[in-house]
Amino acid sequence: MFTGLIETTGTVFAVEEHEGSTRIAIDAPGLKLRTGDSIAVSGVCLTALDIEPGRFHADLAAETIARTSLSLLAPGATVNLELPTPAGAPLGGHVVQGHVDATGKLLSLEPAGKGADWWLRIAVPEMISRYVVEKGSIAVEGISLTVARWEPGTDEGDVVSIAIIPHTYAHTNLHNLQVGQPVNIEADVLIKFMEQRALPKPSQSSLQERELTVEYLIANGY
């Protein structure tokens, strides 16, 4: 589990294709890793492999390539890095699993008035919209952020606006992103749990009427 508080940024060193699989190499000086450790890379939970001084490798599953922006990484790209939160440690951000739901589209990242803050606007896909609430939490590129404004159904789609403080702007990959670029989005898992608990439970009679087949048993882990 992560909290969305980025520890450092890394730089993509290489992207390699091997027999249909993709492996990335990331330079991360000062980050202590062991083979098999979990690490969030721009919000995506990956497994650190082939550790070298200041560098690690990670394999991208087909699901990761299909659902996240990591498939678009190229050497020189900046990524956000976070190690898992130790048990019992304070939760400074919010509960982030590293399980990206989908990518959103960066609409703008502009200075907020005359202050030092920035205003981030992202169009999010419909599958995430029902989990977005004003003043709620959302993870963008692995960063725990607060929804400052929620505008569903605009000409640009369902748009979330977020206030970015100078520290977050300077110490994450946000300042390297370009308008139109896809960004990894993970909705608040607590809202997902609430939605699931609110769903009507199947009645006992419907369960009894369900046909018991070998296929059903296999699909349900028997």
Contact 180, 104 (CB under 8 A): no
Active-site entry in 2, 42, 85, 94: 2
pLDDT at position 192: 85
Contact 187, 99 (CB under 8 A): no
Contact 159, 142 (CB under 8 A): no
- pLDDT band for position 8 (cuts 50, 70, 90): very high
- Domain end marker among 54, 82, 110: 82
Check whether residue 113 and residue 188 sit in a common domain.
yes
Contact 149, 141 (CB under 8 A): no
Q: Flag the least confident range among 31-40, 49-58, 90-99, 123-132.
A: 90-99
Annotation says 172 is catalytic: no
pLDDT at position 50: 95
Check whether residue 76 and residue 108 sit in a common domain.
no
**Residues 87-117: b if buried by 16+ CB within 10 A, e if exposed:** eeeeeebbbbebebbbbbbbbebeeeeeeee
Check whether residue 189 and residue 119 sit in a common domain.
yes
Residue 216, domain member (yes or no): no
* Sequence letter at residue 210: R
Report the SS3 class of residue 140: strand
Annotation says 99 is catalytic: yes
Spatial separation of the C-alpha atoms in residues 59 and 79, rounded to whole Å: 15
- pLDDT band for position 58 (cuts 50, 70, 90): very high
Check whether residue 62 and residue 120 sit in a common domain.
no
Active-site entry in 62, 146, 154, 193: 146
pLDDT at position 215: 64
Instruction: State the pairing for strand pair 55-60/78-82.
Output: unpaired
Annotation says 167 is catalytic: no
Active-site entry in 61, 62, 116, 170: 61
Bridge partner residues of 69 (DSSP) = none
Check whether residue 39 and residue 107 sit in a common domain.
no
Mean pLDDT of 50-64: 94
Other CB atoms within 10 A of residue 160 CB? 26
Annotation says 47 is catalytic: yes
Spatial separation of the C-alpha atoms in residues 14 and 81, rounded to whole Å: 16
Active-site entry in 8, 9, 11, 38: 38
pLDDT digits (tens, 9 = 90+) for 170-217: 999 999 999 999 999 999 988 888 877 777 766 555 555 556 566 665
Count of domains for the chain: 2
Active-site entry in 25, 28, 40, 45: 45
pLDDT at position 113: 80
pLDDT at position 216: 60
pLDDT at position 124: 97
pLDDT at position 220: 58
pLDDT digits (tens, 9 = 90+) for 75-110: 999 999 999 987 777 778 888 999 999 999 999 999
Report the SS3 class of residue 186: strand
Print the domain residue range for 115. Answer: 102-198
pTM for the whole structure: 0.86
Annotation says 161 is catalytic: no
pLDDT at position 218: 59
Active-site entry in 9, 47, 71, 161: 47
Annotation says 2 is catalytic: yes
Annotation says 112 is catalytic: no
DSSP string for 95-136: -B-S---EEEEEEEEEE-TTSS-EEEEEEE-HHHHTT--TT-
* Sequence letter at residue 44: V
Return the CATH number at 66: 2.40.30.20
Active-site entry in 8, 9, 14, 99: 99
pLDDT digits (tens, 9 = 90+) for 120-174: 999 999 999 999 999 999 999 999 999 999 999 999 999 999 999 999 999 999 9
Percent of the chain whose pLDDT exceeds 90: 71
Residue 141, domain member (yes or no): yes
